[in-house]
Structure 1
Amino acid sequence: MSSAHRAWLEPMRDAYLNSGLTLSELGGRVRFAKSKISELLRGCGLYPRWEIILSLSAELRMPQWPLYRLWRQAALEAQKSKEWVERSSEKAALTILDTAAPLDHRAFRELVENDYSLYAQVFLDDDQRDTAVSDTFDILWLCWNSALASPDTRRFAWQVLRTTVMSRTPHLDGRPEFAEAAFDTVALQSLTGPTARMNQMTESMHLFKAMSRLPDHQLDVMVLRRLCGHDAEDVSDLLGVPLATVRSDERHAVHFLESVICPPPETEGNAP
């Protein structure tokens, strides 16, 4: 199952578990076989048509507009043609409206969307970045009540963003590869001359490779602090963690990076 498929399926599965309904009860309400619904909720079998998703979402009281966008995108990523997507949703799609997200969701999005985009840009190209950020807010819309009920909505939302971005980021040996970010660092943009830029790019490649080995929370702090240019207080607000935690994570990350990135060895003639 692709990450795009999980993006809408997991909130739907959670909505079903929280509904208190049995599969038999849900099947009776939407007039689909219990086995068909079980298969869908387990992510098995053929990719489902929008008709059944719409019926389930109505019974589970899920917002249909973000669900439809995520379903459609996952269908295309599952190699379904645009014609199949349109055919499988042309009747049912007419019953949903481009509705607005809850007011507090919209306010939260306005507050953090630009910062989320800066973070995603480190790992993804422009198109993938925009898709990941859009998906993040659609997923949050689907589970907004859970986000509000969590200990910290900012921390909940950040985890959704991180999961969405990392699902689209190339990985090597389990660690994200983001050397392309070297082309967008402030350090590179401020340099003039091909030699200076090439030297800085080489240094950045080594740095990013070492950064990929950091624990997730330390990596996020370093990306936000050193590549996105946020101060520690802003990072604390974005991640929903105490300022002391941000400073501790940065301190440990810098210590690790200094231990693995060694300066060029001295030539024999310069050795003492």
Structure 2
Amino acid sequence: MIRALGLPIPPMRRLWTAAAREAQKEPDWIKDCIQQVALQPEPPPLAHQAFTQTMTRAYTAYARAFLLTDHRARWVVTETFDILWLRWSEAATSENIRRYAWQLLRSRVMTRAHRDAEERPDLRATVFSTTEACADAPGQFAALTELVDLFAAIGRLPHDQMDVAVLRHLCGLTLEETADVLGLSTAMAHAIGPPRPCHPRHPAHRAPLPGVKLNRHALHRRPPRPSPPPRRPHRPRRHRRLRGLRLLRRRPAGR
């Protein structure tokens, strides 16, 4: 059937294996079924390979923010790329292939993400994957409480605004990288981004996910101003007294 439909073999095999595991099939049964229909492997298109290499890091960081573990994040990203391979002809002819792929990834992540009572993505558990949760400092409980409220507020944002907030402030992407991943223009990504915190010690400044650096200055609309150059120390002009008058020293004319 796969040959008759002209479908690529590797993504179909991985997707079928994932469905069999979700159906609680035994590993030996899955292995035997795959061996019965073993076919020659088929490499993905070169354009698909290049797209996968470009987006893997950002996609995995975004999925980890919602799914909490590297294993689950990598699994969802692999599943997304497999489905994209199956739909590559449709994706390649779409108006914006990056936007097409992002919406596909987002749908797979949100299907598995934990949700709150209002059926919105719940990011509060992500707080305990931050370096702030592992720190042992005075006032840590108050800081964690602020982070829980912050992450809950991010989960209540509109879809595009939440994606920009997660990619920029939790995954450490720049504005240009965020726009490229979402398939939006830089101006659009800047316009739909969340407002900056009202206080420079906002808890989002100090809550990067493990393995991901937080872009501290991305929380501000304007970059920090450079410090002014140091002033030269003031030196009083040397003088001497002559018959009660203050005169400036002058160099001889020959020098």
Instruction: Give the TM-score normalised by the residue count of structure 2.
Output: 0.71
Partner SS, residue 138 of structure 2: helix
Q: What is the aligned counterpart of 2:99 among 155, 160, 171?
A: 155
User: 8 Å contact 2:91–2:97 — kept in the other structure?
Assistant: yes
Q: Given the alignment of the two structures, is residue 164 of structure 1 paired with residue 105 of structure 2, yes or no? A: no
Instruction: Give the TM-score normalised by the residue count of structure 1.
Output: 0.67
Give, in whole Å, the separation in 2 of the partners of 1:242 and 1:214: 20
Identity %: 36
Q: Given the alignment of the two structures, is residue 194 of structure 1 paired with residue 137 of structure 2, yes or no? A: yes
> What's 1:182 paired with?
127
User: 8 Å contact 1:132–1:164 — kept in the other structure?
Assistant: yes
Letter in 2 for 1:63: P
User: 8 Å contact 1:128–1:168 — kept in the other structure?
Assistant: no
Q: What is the aligned counterpart of 2:160 among 217, 221, 226?
A: 217
Q: Which has the higher helix share?
A: 1
Give, in whole Å, the separation in 1 of the partners of 2:176 and 2:35: 48
Letter in 2 for 1:118: A
Q: What is the aligned counterpart of 1:236 among 158, 179, 202?
A: 179
State the shift of 1:185 in Å: 4.2
Deviations 1:70-121 (A, max 9, x none): 11011101112213322333311x2242x32111111111111111111111
Gap regions ≥5 residues in structure 1: 1-54, 259-272
Aligned length, in residue pairs: 196
> What's 2:230 paired with?
none
Give, in whole Å, the separation in 1 of the partners of 2:175 and 2:34: 46
User: 8 Å contact 2:9–2:39 — kept in the other structure?
Assistant: no
Give, in whole Å, the separation in 1 of the partners of 2:50 and 2:113: 28
State the shift of 1:196 in Å: 4.5
Letter in 2 for 1:179: R
Give, in whole Å, the separation in 2 of the partners of 1:180 and 1:241: 29
> What's 1:24 paired with?
none
Q: Given the alignment of the two structures, is residue 114 of structure 1 paired with residue 28 of structure 2, yes or no? A: no
Deviations 1:149-182 (A, max 9, x none): 1111111111111111111111122211122222
